[in-house]
Structure 1
Amino acid sequence: MKLIIKPRSPKSRKFPITLDFAPRTPDEIRVEDVKNAIAKKLPQFYPDRQRLTVDGPTATDKPVGLEVGKTLADYNLKDGDAVTFKDLGPQISWRTVFLVEYGGPLVIHPIFYYLQQFWYGKTFEHSQMQTVTLWMVLLHFLKREYETVFVHRFSHGTMPLRNLFKNSAHYHILSGFNLAYFVYGPWNATAERSDLLVYGCIALFAFAELSNYATHVTLRNLRPPGTRIRKIPRGYGFNLVSCPNYFFETIAWIAVALLTQSWATYLFLAVATGQMYIWAVQKHKNYRKEFSDYPRGRKAMFPFIA
């Protein structure tokens, strides 16, 4: 079978190219075989950098993306048909992205906490609230780093390198410089919090972080290593919402916000919760679209609400 790879951009000088898979038939050729064949001819376009599409059934339909694991026959492709190629640009692994994102606050918070003279022009003794907040933030992002290395399994291996800077800004600026500068400043050195509030926030934070971790383990166990299998998540948290991991993370940051009582923390809480809710709604819709038996009573992120 021969397959023509045409460019999405009419200015491309490297395409079209023709791939010859003889004597194999369309039902014997997988999408990854096509990507590997393209990379063999043009090494700069490694498989993760490629997006392959075919035209929809009608002229008004959107192009259909070719998914790894499926065959050409799944898309009704025959000998001599064409597939459209798009260069996604330089890629970086999602694992690396997460390590960079979460690593920012782990560096930024101690710098503001310990280098007082540099940031605030004087030294002072931190309040209990400031010290407890530091450890909450560090434990949160250390847990994130641990999960990135040992827990998460990624359905998509890479993302465009250019997105690294946009994604990191959320963590490095909002939960990094923003929180650290305003929470650890001298104006909070005399901030007093009752023992009930301090230990209540610690307990709420611990509950939320452990619950969040449990949901991540549940998601990990749904996908065997090296596969892209998708199943309906069930169990703790998932019986009420599609994304309990986002719900529990929101609770963790509510605990930090209640402890600090800082507008900077409330700002990060609002932005982070809003973004997680957008993700949750999208995932909720995808679950309901993909699984006909998906539980109808579940909400996206907030139990019994939304």
Structure 2
Amino acid sequence: MVSITISAAKRTSLAKDLPATLNFPDKTVDTLTVSDVKSAFAAKYPQFYPSRQKISLKGDNKLLADEATLASVGLTDGAELAVKDLGAQISWTTVFVIEYIGPLVVHPLMYHFPSVFYRTTVEHSLLQKYVYAMVMLHFLKREYESLFVHRYSHGTMPFAYVFRNSFHYHVLGGVALAYAAYSPTYANTSSYIVGTIRDDPKFLMGGALVWLWAEVSNLKTHVTLRDLRPAGTKTRAIPYGYGFNKITCPNYFFEIVGWLVVCVMTGSYAAWFFLITGTYMMALWAMKKHRNYKKEFGKAYPKRNIMIPFIW
């Protein structure tokens, strides 16, 4: 039998009577895991469900992994752990669905109802038709991947983060990009379009083909990553194959290429700003993933660039 005392790292209204003692009659310190402690704590305080809990050693803010046993973190019978309320949680799948739904709502509204937003009618140019199709297909692909492809090492995130994460897609990739791309500036009779390369079907088709290659390649790398992690696990393995032989994060590289095509085709400041901010965020994620791979797999991890082939 093992007894553990749980105290509050910070005061929480979900468990006002802490510290509390949890008993595990069928466990030893070698078999009792942090996940077991979370489940038992949630049984005592139902609103404090496991994904909302951050369990750490008393006096230490470091998160203890769910699979860690008490013995592995140096604890014995009667030890004390601290719990912190991470706030209301939401699944990563739901987060991404919310993020990508913004552009899928905003772009059709501005494209099909220009008189509402520009106080004039807009005869759409071929460029605008291409951009509209590319943006819609991109975010529909994102929704498909969120629902049927991606597998996440962390099941949830704080609900409050949804608003922060959605800003990039709803405002920059939604409102700002749509308002610029479907405006009279890019209309069929605009001087910015007529007689320029942006009115050349061959240029537009060429850009669309590069974009299509980038989108399909991005999907392929996501499927490769999905297949490395069996459903319901946190398994990590070294990815190989298309895209991964040169860089750690080819999915980010192909994402950048796809949006670069939109930027070149339109020349829109809004598109460039969306690309630059997105690239900055992906670069941070890529560096973190690259470090984690090297730390976890050591010399077994192949020598690769981080996100841009032959460059970085």
Rounded to whole Å, the distance in 1 between the matches of 2:58 and 2:283 is: 33
Q: Which residue of 1 is the match for residue 3 of structure 2? A: 2
1:54-84 per-residue CA deviation (whole Å, 9 max, x = no partner) reads 269xxxxx64322122322221221011111
RMSD between superposed Cα atoms in Å: 1.5
> Which amino acid is 2:40 matched to?
A
Letter of the 2:235 counterpart: I
- Cross-structure match for 1:59: none
2:210 to 180, 204, 219: 204
1:246 aligns with 2:249: no
Q: Is the 8 A contact 1:287 1:294 kept in 2?
A: no
User: For residues 299 and 243 of structure 2, what CA distance do their matches in structure 1 show?
Assistant: 18
CA displacement at 1:196 relative to structure 2: 2.8
Cα deviation for residue 296 of structure 1 reads: 4.6
The alignment-based identity, stated in percent, is: 49
Match of 2:242 in 1: 236
Residue deviations 1:210-236 (CA, integer Å, cap 9, x gap): 000000000000001111111111111
CA distance in structure 2 between the partners assigned to 1:100 and 1:64 by the alignment: 30
Q: Cα distance, 1:118 vs. partner?
A: 0.5
Query: Which residue matches 2:47?
Result: 44
Aligned residues of 2:58 and 2:80 also touching (Cα < 8 A): no
| 1:178-206 per-position Cα deviation (integer Å, ceiling 9, x unaligned) | 10001100121032422232011101100
Equivalenced residues, count: 301
**C-alpha distance in 2 between matches for 1:14 and 1:201:** 63
Report what 1:79 is aligned to.
77
State the alpha-carbon separation in 2 of the partners of residues 163 and 10 from structure 1: 21
Cα deviation, 1:227-280, whole Å, max 9, x if unaligned, reads 111111111111111111000000000011111111110111111111101110
Q: Secondary structure at the match of 2:276?
A: helix
Q: Residue 136 of structure 1 aligns with which residue?
A: 134
Tell me: CA distance 1:162–1:175, structure 2 relative to 1, closer, same or farther (3 Å).
same
Instruction: Give 1:11 deviation, angstroms.
Output: 7.5
Structure-1 residue corresponding to 2:35 = 32
Aligned-partner residue type, residue 146 of structure 1: Y
Question: Matched residue of 1:26: which SS?
Answer: coil
Contact 1:257 1:265 in 2 (8 A): yes
Equivalent residue for 1:90, pick from 88, 109, 114: 88
Structure 1: distance between partners of 2:25 and 2:232: 28
Q: Partners of 2:224 and 2:147 in 1: how far apart?
A: 16
Task: State the one-letter code of the partner of 2:10.
Answer: S
Distance 1:11 1:55 in 2: 16
State the distance in 2 between where 1:92 and 1:73 align: 31
- 1:295 Cα deviation after fit: 3.2
Q: Runs in 1 of length 4+ with deviation above 4 angstroms? A: none
Shift of 1:294: 4.0
1:20 aligns with 2:47: no
| 1:88-127 to 2 correspondences below 5 Å | 88-127=86-125
Q: Distance in 2 between matches of 1:153 and 1:67?
A: 19
Distance 1:244 1:294 in 2: 19
CA contact (8 A) 1:31 1:69 kept: yes
Could you tell me whether the CA contact under 8 Å between 1:55 and 1:64 is conserved in 2? no
